[in-house]
Chains A and B, each alone.
Chain A
Amino acid sequence: MTVLFWILGILAVPTAVFLLWLLWVFLKELFSPSPDDGDTDADAEAARAAKAAAKLGLLPAERQNTELAAPLPEQWTAALAAVRGGDWQPAADLLAAVGRDWERRSALAYQLADRAAEEDAWLLAWEAARPDDPDAAVVRARSTVILAWKIRGAKAAKYTTREQAEGFHRTLTAARADVARAAALNPDDPTPFVAEIWVALGLGYPNARMDELWTEITSRAPHHYEAHFSALQYWCAKWRGSERLAREFAERAAAGAPLGSLLTVLPLIAHFEHDESDDTEADNTPEMRARVEAALADAAAADPSHPRLPELRHLLAYYLHLQGRNEAALEQFRLVDGHVNALPWRHDSDMAGYYCRVRNTTVALAEEAATAGV
């Protein structure tokens, strides 16, 4: 009998030890609970960085505008609101007032066309009231192209359904007539041809035909930002070019453009579109550092109200951060904070979240550097 008790006693020891350990953990958790969601250091750090960013007046992800790269001028917002209500008059006046400022005309026509790609009753009314208005025609042309891309969806070709691909093709083909009409009604305007670049992407224009289209554009506006941005997309490997073609196009355009034209963004974009690496080595080559320097100088020389300047700043902030120049990056972030629909964030499914993560890290590192420096 005694032997039996001994055996039971020995067996009971580990059980008792386990129970005591459970009790200890329970008590410890009761008096000093570990942080709820942040059991990793990274999360805690992210929370600290977010707090630091908020202190600087930077907005959280949910308050970032994911439709635009920068706020629109007040008049534009008003005109866009008016067309939503069916009133095309303010839009027509505004476009007429922009006149031959091709950069702004293209941008405004895009914004209007984006609305018209959803519902175009107001545009039809405009067209009915002024049958051969080149302004209405340019909005029409851009809207048909945008509609085609909306039908396609944003996914890679292999995830695009047959129905989407067919609708895309059909609509793009129809868009060519609209583009031609808009170009005929306003022969000086490069905007219809800028829209056609997106037709070229979708329908797969041969390179030679793209070159012809490009001549049409540069003869009208040699340093048009949106034209260059769009054409660079065409020359990227994922569309109708290659990494080499895209780089060449970007370098050539940047080298030939005057300071302040913002075309120094092109080499950065060409790099971004073809960079598959996971580390920052490729972003820290002397070449890349020189590109960032050039872009900084370009941004400083540009007209502060240039509608595309914020797009350059987004990319600058990103690459300055990747090159470890967090204070300079933070400066760019502060200039653009609030609107995030720009490269490099645009392709991310959670563009605001992505933007804020990078921005917050930049803030934290910049602060660290500042304290270390003091």
Chain B
Amino acid sequence: MGATLRALRALVLLLGFYLLSLVLLAALAGVDVLVFSWGHGPLTAKVGFVTVLLAIPVVRGMLMLRTPKGEDPPGLPVTDADEPRLWALVRELAAAAGTRAPDRILLTGEVNASVSEDPRLLGLLPGPRRLTLGVPLLIGLTEAQLRSVLAHEFGHFTGGDTRLSALVVRGRVQIGRVIGQFHAKADGKVAADRARQERASAKRVAKGRKAKEIDTTGVGATYRTMARIYTAYGKLYLRASLSTARGQEYAADLTAARIAGRDATASALREIPALSASHDFYVDSYATLGLHARLLPPRGEFFGGFGRLLTAREPEPAGLRAELPEMPVGPYDSHPPIADRVRRIEALPADGRTDEARGSALTLLTDPERTLGALEDAVLLDELLACPRAAGWEELLNASMAAGLSATTTPLHRALTAYTGQPATLSALLDLIDDGRLWRLAERLPLSEQAAAAKGRAFREFVRPALLGSLRTMVLAEFSACSLLTWEFSWTSPATVRLPGWETGAGDDSPEAELDAALEAAVADHPDTTRLRALLPPAVQNA
């Protein structure tokens, strides 16, 4: 389908929205006419009122012509002077794709690259173009792969996809807005009705009567019906524009393969899902590690640490890349499945460009470290930026683990508080165990049905894992409070705790094994806390 035809279809679909709205308005008016000519009294008034209420969102949806301005996502704008090599690459690729280079480049913190255009006159005239480029892509891709990604994006420019998207987006936004309005009204109505019923119910209770069940089904149903009509049209709209969107992706892939080489394109497509998964993991487990301790990684490391993770875990994503993610594609997803795209690219004849530009794409930046630092300022929230910085990843880990441990309340803490009525402390727990009341205390733990039904040894077996885990946490917290605990930071495996090297006598026993044995002895059928007490910092020993 040519660009003109696509433009025409987009226009027709957008006009369809107005037509649908007009038909609905006409239907509402028709109801009014019928009721006014045959109905009488209060019914007419009520029907009139309802139709007007329903007409309001429809009319508003039609009148709201302005699509929201495509706002910049949080990012760091870079000029030609800042990053001459990146700009040169971008210009070169745009020229190769036969299109105008973007006017602005915005670096972001996401695993994504995209181009957009603010066209004028409903896409009849071109407008300023913007390239958003995720720094994690620069970190994780080779230069050749980055070229492929950029060439893919410029392929969209060439196809005129970005210009037409204005129409498509307008339709999508407008329908979405009307649906949202109807749902908001319905929700508001349900909420109001619930509040009214609750007030009435409260009054009944106050008068000593039984409270009525609060029932809000049905309220807001008319609004929801209207929303449903628009949703149905919205689905049609998306489906119609979908095949186009997918076709555009394939076309852009071909452009990328032509400009950046077949192998680089295929490997970039394989790499990106793996990179995306790794990045999610990185952000969760590393970048935001110190969040509850209100501590940030050293400047530049919030994004830069991702590179260290990738280097350390080099062999791992290889597995992720080798098998393509066969994720089912939603009916309204604009992108075809990655596996499909890779297969199409790999089916192309070899072009002999296997070994180009294998260096990291990050080296395109003039001063990666400065840029990574500046990106943090541009992307992270102000309250996050206000947090102090750790001197290094180890300190970040130690601080965050210490904060986590001191804040943790285990089920055993709660059981102990419930049993003794005192704040739960380790020394109180150990005294209680010595007193032979561990299994009485254990009955206060949250128990499964089976554990609660069990007796004697079976009961103790059921609760032992929970006891052991909680006790371990409490003991570690105690060490942590005395600053006796260090954590071993690793880019490849979960943090492991390092206990101070006790003089255990038996030289080959590691403190960890010693601790485990002591913990097990403390929650054995016949508990013995001597070993554990011997390991603990003096403050608890003497308690």
Contacts and interface: CB of A to CB of B under 8 A. Distances in A.
Interface stretch (A6-14, A162-170, A197-205): A162-170
Interface in B459-502: 461-462, 465
Contact of A117 (B450, B457, B525): B457
Contacts of A167: 461-462, 465
Interface stretch (A48-56, A97-105, A118-126, A222-230): A118-126
Contacts of B454: 150-151
A151 B461 contact: yes
A147 interface: yes
A120 B457 contact: yes
A349 to B, nearest CB: 16
Interface residues of B, number: 13
Contacts of A124: 526
A163 B457 contact: no
Contact of B457 (A119, A153, A170): A119
B526 A151 contact: no
B458 interface: yes
A120 B526 CA distance: 11
Interface string B509-537: 00000000000000001100000000000
Contact of B450 (A118, A119, A164): A164
B465 A166 contact: yes
A171 interface: yes
Interface in B322-374: none
Given A124-B526, A166-B465, A161 B448 contact: yes
Contacts of B235: none
A150 B465 contact: no
A138 B465 CA distance: 27
A119 B456 CA distance: 6
Contacts of B415: none
B526 to A, nearest CB: 7
A84 B462 CA distance: 23
B390 interface: no
A163 B463 CA distance: 10
A171 B448 contact: no
Contacts of B456: 117-119
B461 A163 contact: no
B457 A118 contact: yes
B363 to A, nearest CB: 49
Contacts of B526: 124
B456 to A, nearest CB: 4
B519 to A, nearest CB: 15
A153 B450 contact: yes
B458 A163 contact: no
A196 to B, nearest CB: 19
A147 B464 CA distance: 14
B455 A151 contact: no
Interface in A58-81: none
A82 B38 CA distance: 95
A151 B448 contact: no
A147 B450 contact: no
A242 to B, nearest CB: 30
A164 B458 CA distance: 10
B428 interface: no
B385 interface: no
A228 B458 CA distance: 28
B462 A147 contact: no
A368 B451 CA distance: 50
Contacts of A164: 450
A166 B461 CA distance: 10
A147 B461 CA distance: 9
A117 B461 contact: no
A170 B466 CA distance: 14
B520 to A, nearest CB: 11
Contacts of A150: 454, 458
A163 B453 CA distance: 13
A126 to B, nearest CB: 15
Contacts of B448: 161, 163
A170 B465 CA distance: 10
A170 B448 CA distance: 18
A151 B451 CA distance: 9
A166 B526 CA distance: 22
A160 to B, nearest CB: 9
B436 to A, nearest CB: 12
Interface in A96-151: 117-120, 124, 147, 150-151
B450 A163 contact: yes
A151 B455 CA distance: 10
B521 to A, nearest CB: 15
A163 to B, nearest CB: 5
A119 to B, nearest CB: 5
Nearest to B449: A161
B129 to A, nearest CB: 55
A151 B463 CA distance: 11
Interface string B213-232: 00000000000000000000
A151 B465 contact: no
Contacts of A151: 454, 458, 461-462
Contacts of B462: 151, 163, 167
A147 B454 CA distance: 11
B450 A161 contact: yes
A118 B460 CA distance: 10
A366 B175 CA distance: 82
Nearest to B466: A163
Nearest to B455: A118
A166 B463 CA distance: 12
A161 B448 CA distance: 9
Interface in B402-452: 448, 450-451
A166 B454 CA distance: 15
A147 B457 contact: yes
A265 B456 CA distance: 35
Contacts of B451: 163
A118 B451 CA distance: 14
A163 B452 CA distance: 12
A161 B458 CA distance: 15
Which residue of B451, B456, B462, B465 has the most chain A CB atoms within 10 A of its CB atom?
B456
A120 B457 CA distance: 8
A150 B456 CA distance: 11
A161 B453 CA distance: 14
Nearest to A143: B457
A163 B455 CA distance: 15
A287 to B, nearest CB: 42
B458 A117 contact: yes
12 contacts: A118-B456, A119-B456, A147-B458, A150-B458, A151-B454, A151-B462, A161-B448, A161-B450, A163-B462, A167-B465, A170-B465, A171-B461
Please name the 5 residue pairs, one residue from A and one from B, whose CB atoms are nearest each other, closest first: A118-B456, A119-B456, A150-B458, A167-B461, A151-B458
Interface of A: 117-120, 124, 147, 150-151, 153, 161, 163-164, 166-167, 170-171
Given A153-B450, A166-B465, 10 more contacts: A118-B457, A124-B526, A147-B458, A147-B461, A151-B454, A161-B448, A163-B448, A163-B462, A167-B462, A171-B461
